Amino acid sequence: MSALTIDSIGTTRKVPTNRAKGRMSRDKFNIPLTVTLALCTLAVLIPLFVTVNMAFKTGSQAVQGEAFVLPSPLSIEGFVQAWELTNFPVAFGLSAFVSAIAVAGAVLISSMAAYAIHANWERTFFRFAFFYVLAAMFLPFPVLALSQIKLSGLVGLDTPLGVGILHIMFMLGFNVLLLTTFLRGMPQELEEAARIDGASTWQTFWRVIFPVLSPMAATVGIFAFLFSWNDFMMPSMIIADPALQTLPVVNQLFQSQFSSNYHVSFASYLMAMAPAIVAFIFTQRWVLAGVTQGAVKS
């Protein structure tokens, strides 16, 4: 191991940790503890392994429901059938559409609102707006659900677009909190220099504020994607047309049709889970840093 490593919290630290007991030499590792923790990772890995394992079986083998018997022969029959049965491309496209709206909105709208609140913190109106959107963090979705179903039906937003908008608004309070906290740490001279150079507020936001915000905005965007992509409650309640449902809801709607064709159901689950896991693998450093920042600062 090198003297400095990037650990998964996103910070650079010396390898000997603060939990070294007493005067432990630098290259002495606690092997029993390592083994214990490695065994604990099985609790995470087994369900994922079973999902992949079942998905690649043939129909005749999957019916037996043996979770730990390896597929023989390997088959993509389950994927082919799930693809057709659930009309996967459409559901995938709709999920991507909802997530894209949620991510773009969470990043842009929250950043603009946070900047406006930050720049006018002395004004009662802006401070009130801050606490107003923050208060929503205490409103559970079930409390709003039935009224939202009514309202969204009235204005024709009982669609994927409506769910995307609701996702943005649901996350607004937390995101504005994160981003205003982050802006307070920004040197004021940056903004003033832009003003002296004659930049308008609009230009200042795009050329100065947003670039400064970008690390935190990336975190906000990643969490918006994970929340929106995985959400079941809101689309299942809000989207009126079953043909326009997102992937988690589609998987629930087809439960009865999957019956004991486990290769089809697990292939379908895998295709629904994979994008979020892949996104996590590529962005894990921001995800890990973001969780801790968000929690510790709020």
Contacts to other proteins from residues 97-126, by CB under 8 A: 109, 112-113, 115-123, 126
CB of 33 to other proteins, least distance (A): 5
- Rounded CA separation 138/38 (Å): 37
Q: Which of 160, 164, 221, 248 binds other proteins (CB under 8 A)?
A: 248
Instruction: Give the range of 70-78, 83-91, 210-218, 264-272 binding other proteins by CB under 8 A.
Output: 264-272
Taking the least distance from each CB to other proteins, the nearer of 25 and 73 is: 25
- Rounded CA separation 225/99 (Å): 6
The DSSP code for 19 is T
Query: What is 147-167 written as a DSSP string?
Result: HHHHHHHHTT--SHHHHHHHH
Q: Which of 134, 210, 232, 240 binds other proteins (CB under 8 A)?
A: 232
Q: Which of 85, 104, 129, 218 binds other proteins (CB under 8 A)?
A: 129
Q: Which of 2, 3, 12, 38 binds other proteins (CB under 8 A)?
A: 38
Taking the least distance from each CB to other proteins, the nearer of 90 and 132 is: 132
Torsion 203-208-213-215 (CA) sign:
positive
Q: Does 12 bind other proteins (CB under 8 A)?
A: no
Output phi, psi for 14, to 5 deg: -70, 145
Taking the least distance from each CB to other proteins, the nearer of 77 and 115 is: 115
Give the per-residue contact string, 54-73, with other proteins (x = CB under 8 A; - = no): x----------xxxx-----
CB of 257 to other proteins, least distance (A): 13
Alpha-helix residue ranges (DSSP H) falling in 9-120: 31-55, 59-62, 77-85, 88-119
Give the per-residue contact string, 168-207, with other proteins (x = CB under 8 A; - = no): -xx-x-----------x---x--xx--xx---xxx--x--
* Interactions with other proteins, residue window 141-160 (CB under 8 A): 141-151
Taking the least distance from each CB to other proteins, the nearer of 72 and 260 is: 260
CB of 133 to other proteins, least distance (A): 6
Torsion 101-183-284-281 (CA) sign:
positive
Cβ neighbour number for residue 266 with a 10 Å cutoff: 24
CB of 146 to other proteins, least distance (A): 6
Query: What is 104-135 written as a DSSP string?
Result: HHHHHHHHHHHHHHHHTTTSHHHHHHHHHHHH
Query: Which tokens go with 51?
Result: 């999902």
Output phi, psi for 32, to 5 deg: -55, -40
Q: Which residue is it, tokens 């939202």?
A: 148
Q: Does 131 bind other proteins (CB under 8 A)?
A: no
Q: Does 230 bind other proteins (CB under 8 A)?
A: yes
The answer to whether 184 and 118 have CB atoms below 8 angstroms apart is: yes
